[in-house]
Amino acid sequence: MAGRELLKSEKSRRTTKYLLIIAVLCLAFSIAFILRAYPIKYGFYLNEFDPFFDFRATEYIVNNGYGPYLEWHDYKSWFPDGREIAETSQSGLHLTAATLYKIFGMNMSLMDFTIWFPVVIGSASTVLMFLVVRAITGSTIPGLISSLFFAVSPAIIQRGNLGWFKSEPLGLFYGLGGTYLFLSALKDKKYKFLIPKAIFGGILIGLAVTSWGGAQYFVIPIGIFIIVLGFVSKDLKNNLIVAVLFTASVILVAGAFPRPGMSFVLGLPGLLLITSSLFLLVTTVVRLKSSERRATLKTAIILGIFVIIGMSIVVGGFYKVPSFRYLNAINPFLSSENKLVESVAEHFTPTIVDYFRQFSILIIFAGLGIWLSFKNKNNTNMIFALIIGLTGIYISATFARLLVFASISIIILSSIGIYQSIRAITSIRTEAEQTLTTSNKSGAKAQKNMKLKKQFLPYAGFAAILIVMLSIPMVYDSNTNWITSADVPTSIANGGTNYRLTTDDWIETLDWMSKNTPVDSVVTAWWDYGYWITTLGNRTSIADNATINQTRIETIAKMFISPEEKGWKIANDLKSDYILIYVVGQKLPSLDPANPSPLYVLGSGGDESKKHWFIRIGGFNESEYVESNGDTPKQKYWDSLLGKMMPFQTIGFYNPSTGTLSPTYQPNAIPFYIKDIKYPKGNTSEPLSLVYASKSFESDDPGLFFGVLVYKVNHDFKATNANGTSPSNITTLASSLANGTSPSNITTLASSLANGTSPSNITTLASSLANGTSPSNITTLASSLANGTSNLILESNVLNNINNTSSNNSMTTTTNNTATIETTQGPIKIEFYPDVAPNHVKNFQDLASKGFYDGVVFHRIVPGFVIQAGDPNTKNGNSSNDTWGTGGPGYTINQEFNNIPHERGILSMARTNDPNSAGSQFFIVLNDSKFLDNQYTVFGKVTEGLEIVDKIANSTTNAMDQPEDPNSARINKIVLQ
């Protein structure tokens, strides 16, 4: 009877324990759900920028199926080239969301489903966090603590709240799930459990990598831990089975997707997993055949051998080089020379203040957790806690967006530290009770309670202090506490600013665009807004947040910052029908009763605040466009296309420190503006005309405004030259040249017409004109300028005229029809086609005869497609690889498209989006690529040495398709024959 009662009591306690666990997990899930759904008070929208693309990609799967998605080339983005979606995006997210929608979507719209998706997935991840920590510690309480901290972690909430249909929430869900199954499999002794856990855990990590590039982080602590198991594991056989099955599953899943595909398998994360599993295999064989005393020494020797092999692979470049972002995560001390990378807010380096704001008191307990992990020698999984804790904190020092991994690390370590603190208190109480029970068997009950109270009260006080300390960061201070950090509007609701308010400006603008512009319209805007334009505006964009073509983004920056006519020319070259800009500021009441128009102060997150990045990315000198404070515009900025599009005019400056007004800029002064639309609606005599302005800009009511302005590009605009020389002046210039103006005067005049031409070319142009250009050609030149011919094409035509008419031309004329390209891999013999592309052949031969190509590198190597060379920037070993592909001879030549197909061995001329922009860069076709026909000028073919071409094509390249060893793909010289 007593045994039955004991059994019943034990069952009751177990049931109560499980109910408490479920209750705490439900609480964690509920808190997580509420905090992540908090932005709903600002409106029910997708958040940030990427989720709009991810929604569109998921919608494509739902409407068309999985197969068509994998083959989808989207021409609505990155016009005109388009984009291979599956190869350039996080396919795991799209496939998972589409599948779940088909199962659980019911009558919900896909838009609503994707808005709620990150909230549900992020809340469910609290349970996985519990499982991971319980698997590490073997205890339930630290797991429950971790689930609660995961629910309120600011860094995780901010990258997984309402509408954040982006990579991180699902990547973390899969990553935590896979990590738990891996750790759980290591503990299991039965094959029927450990094998499916290892396989399914690997599948989840593989899916995490396909859903979010950052999820490759999970591979790092797991790979390191597998290596550690070779030293400390007491069950090597089972651990080896787990490691091999887990690694194989990760590699197969990640490699099967177009992205990351083989770049993961052959990259550092994939090699780490494969190498660590091989190390454990070798170690297991050696340790099983060695005595316990010598096993550790032999394991260390094996590790040394593997380290040497690994270093050789890295130094030799026998792996797929990751992008700078991943290298920077491995080495946070690397500094980016890429202005585009630097311009992204989530790539900013977090500071010490950021860590304290995000983690507060948890940092102290994480330190305690580190010490306890070092101290614990009985539980090998505690070593994993140490590894994931330190690596997560380490890589988070690179980018602000990687603070999610610091959050996971600190949550794990602090949960261990807090649990041990609580355990210490309860164990002390238990000891005190036992002591009093033994020492006071004959004492009074009151005396016993008094002694117990005296010994227990200090520890109860400590527990209360602990609870208060953990509660403080949730409520203090009012602006930066953990709860307030969830109070963030979606980006499209507040215009991507830091204001906690809503505005319909973007929603209404994109709706207007979808209804009032031609369906085939091409819209140019800064890349931040590309996904909004294609998804909500339903129009084709030039660039977007994928940033897959940095040259395109640089071109857009140049369009905005160039003088208005040159900017208009670039917009035309990009085939833009509309240009969108965004400006944010505040309207102030007028100080003049006679003039009710408001005053304006600019700056709070629009293009007016990003102009310095436009300037830097476009390659301009920042000091020429903005004042010393890095923000206030100079006149050169107002003369640029972006400056002309900004509908404001400076009227004065106010210095708040002195309380004085000034008509000119003074340090610390704030500029004030009035509205001044330079390209008004209906105006066809200017490069652009305003066709839409959002309502908060149009209103004169005081307060914040979020102006989204859409300009129509006037393709029929007749440009003068970049410096505004009038047709009459050009005619005068032509007359002066025809009448024998001296070369010195011609140099000055040519300089005034030049638009970005280097002084040496200007002088050459002037001298050539003076030495024999016929009056008829000069008259043609004047006529072209008067009729608005663009300067880049004009410069090309002038040079061609000079080549054809001047006997003293500095460029050598040749009649050779063959040449040999002497490379470091061997000779390549080519034959020219002067009958179909005479100007291209002549240009190539002239450059070759001057030694222009001597020492250049095949800077773009795309196996199975082309190898490309001809950029003088590649000659200098000290130049940044970021400039490769941007150089030329300083002039351009017109296209000579012909009917010769782009078959293997064809020699063709590279160019930008402008068909008439060829200069010196050329490419050799590796495999038939007839889709290039009539888009690039064929001017020759390889007749001997295709095996040399293939050697160059097989060179090891980095993520930008550049050769790792430039000397393996260098042109020594080109010999004309």
Please say whether the beta carbons of 559 and 570 come within 8 A: yes
pLDDT digits (tens, 9 = 90+) for 660-706: 888 889 888 899 999 999 999 888 889 999 999 999 999 888 889 99
Which string of DSSP letters, residue by residue, matches 567-584?
A: HHHHHHHTT-SEEEEEEE
Write down the mean pLDDT value for the chain. 82
pLDDT digit string (tens) for 479-489? Answer: 667 888 888 89
What value does the mean pLDDT take over residues 550-577? Answer: 94
Higher-pLDDT residue of 271 and 446 is 271
Q: Is the pLDDT of residue 448 over 70?
A: no
| Position 715, amino acid | H
Nearest to residue 745, comparing CAs of 733, 731, 754, 760?
733
- Please give, one letter per residue, the 3-state secondary structure of 626-674: ECCCCCCECHHHHCEHHHHHCCEEEEEEEECCCCEEECCCCCCCEEEEE
Q: How confident is the model at residue 973 (pLDDT cuts 50, 70, 90)?
A: very high
Which range among 629-633, 823-827, 876-880, 931-935 shows the weakest confidence by mean pLDDT?
Answer: 876-880
- Cα–Cα separations (whole angstroms), residue 635 to 218, 561, 639, 726: 51, 12, 6, 22
User: Tokens standing for 475?
Assistant: 């409520």
Match 């034990």 to its residue by tokens. Answer: 10
973 in Cβ contact with 822 (< 8 Å): yes
> What is the pLDDT, as a whole number, of residue 753?
34
Question: If phi over 0 gives left and psi between -120 and 50 gives alpha, with beta otherwise, what is residue 927?
Answer: beta
CB atoms under 10 Å from CB of 250, counted, come to 30
Higher pLDDT, 294 or 578: 578
Tokens of 429: 């109480």
Would you say residue 941 has pLDDT above 80? yes
Residue 811's pLDDT is 33
Residue pLDDT, tens place only, 904-922? 999 999 988 788 889 999 9
- For residue 473, the model assigns a pLDDT of 80
Residue 391 tokens, joined: 């690596």
| Range 930-935 average pLDDT | 84
Measured distance CA(799)–CA(810) in Å, rounded: 11
pLDDT-wise least confident of 318-322, 784-788, 881-885: 784-788
pLDDT at 344: 59
* Residues contacting 66, CB < 8 A, separation 6+: 95, 98
* 229 pLDDT higher than 70: yes
Render the burial of 662-672: b for 16+ CB within 10 Å, e for the rest: eeebeeebebb
Token pair of 316 as six digits: 């030799």
- pLDDT at position 571 is 96
Residues of the chain above pLDDT 90, percent:
54
- Dist. CA 164–CA 156, nearest whole Å: 11
For residues 435, 437, 443 and 445, what is the CA-based torsion angle, rounded to 10 degrees?
120
SS3 of residue 610 by DSSP: helix
CB 562 within 8 A of CB 643: no
As a whole number of angstroms, the distance between CA 661 and CA 454 comes to 71
DSSP state of 605: S
How far apart, in whole angstroms, are the C-alpha atoms of residue 344 and residue 879?
24
pLDDT for 236-284, tens place per residue? 899 999 999 999 999 999 999 999 999 899 888 899 999 999 999 999 9
Of 971, 957, 960, 976, the residue nearest 319 (C-alpha): 957
Kindly report, residue by residue over 182-228, the tens digit of the pLDDT: 999 999 989 999 999 999 999 999 999 999 999 999 999 999 999 99
Instruction: Report long-range pairs for 348-352 (Cβ below 8 Å, ≥24 apart).
Output: 348/399, 348/400, 349/397, 349/398, 349/399, 349/400, 350/396, 350/397, 350/399, 350/400, 350/403
Helices (H), 709-836: 727-738, 743-753, 759-770, 775-786, 791-805
Burial class of residue 67, CB neighbours in 10 A (0-12, 13-18, 19+): exposed
**CA angle, residues 245, 251, 254, in degrees to nearest 5:** 135
Q: What is the pLDDT of residues 318-332, one digit of tens each?
A: 665 565 555 555 666
365 or 398: which leads in pLDDT: 365
CA distance 506 to 521: 18
Calpha distance 890→913 (Å, rounded): 17
CA distance 48 to 765: 50
Question: For residue 957, what is the DSSP state?
Answer: B
Scanning the structure block, which residue is given the tokens 């009591």?
A: 9
- pLDDT for 76 beyond 80: yes
Q: pLDDT per residue over 153-191, tens digit each?
A: 999 998 999 999 999 999 999 999 999 999 999 999 899
| SS3 category, 478 | coil
Radius of gyration of the chain (CA): 34
DSSP letter string over 142-189? Answer: HHHHHHHHHHH-HHHHHTSSTT--SHHHHHHHHHHHHHHHHHHHHH--
In degrees and rounded to multiples of 5, residue 822 shows phi and psi of: -85, 115
**Residue 495, Ramachandran bin (φ over 0: left; ψ between -120 and 50: alpha; else beta):** left
DSSP bridge partners of 671: 653
Count Cα atoms within 13 angstroms, Cβ side, for 449: 3
Determine the distance from the C-alpha atom of residue 795 to the mean position of all C-alpha atoms in its chain, rounded to a whole number. 37
How far does the chain reach from its first CA to its final CA, in angstroms?
109
Residue 178 contacts residue 129 (beta carbons within 8 Å): no
Domains in the chain, CATH or no CATH each: 501-713 (3.40.50), 818-976 (2.40.100.10)
